[in-house]
Amino acid sequence: TEALIDVLRGEQDSPVEDDARRHGHQRRLDGYSVVDVLWELTTFRRVFVAVLDEASAAVTDWIPVDGSKTILDLLDLCARASIDQYVKEAEQERDAAASRAGILETQRQRFLSTLSHELRNQIQPILLGLHRLKDTGPSAGQLRAIEMIERQTRHQSFLIEDLLDLD
């Protein structure tokens, strides 16, 4: 409010726009939605104008208002600056989250690729070893054990493929 009054008094170094940006920043940190910020600014604008209307006789003595810088224009400038800051920070946060998500996706892809390679590399030697054992003329009990290991290894291979297809 003080910064607004300073501008209306003709002071050029008033931090009105900086104050409005800090407002948007703080409201975002406080968890306000854009609609909440707009409502708050609209309410502030109405109250400010109502107070000025009540004091209208004295206003002309201390606030120089020309055609290009009306009180409402100044309040609108503040609202725009506050909302611009809010939206800018929200977009930066969104972009940072998207970047982090992209990095995590790349890491996930690398992990799954390495996992795929390592798991597949374990199964093939087991199956090769089982085929060699079958060629040695195992007993009936040994053959049942070899076939069970082979069945379970192939099942594990299918599970690995299914898991990696979820990618």
In terms of average pLDDT, the best of 59-68, 110-119, 143-152 is 143-152
- The average pLDDT across 129-147 equals 92
pTM: 0.57
pLDDT of residue 128 exceeding 70, the answer is yes
Structure tokens that stand for 123 in this block: 């199964």
- How high is the mean pLDDT of the chain? 83
pLDDT tens per residue, range 27-62: 999 999 988 988 888 888 888 777 777 766 555 554
Q: What is the DSSP letter of 53?
A: H
Give the other-Cβ count within 10 Å of 96's Cβ: 10
User: Mean pLDDT throughout 136-150?
Assistant: 93
User: What percent of the chain clears pLDDT 90, i.e. is strictly above it?
Assistant: 36
pLDDT of residue 67: 42
Measured CA to CA, the distance from residue 78 to residue 15 in angstroms comes to 11
CA distance 86 to 94: 12
Q: Residue 10: what residue type?
A: G
User: Cβ of 25: how many Cβ atoms within 10 Å?
Assistant: 15
Query: Residue 96: its pLDDT value, please?
Result: 96
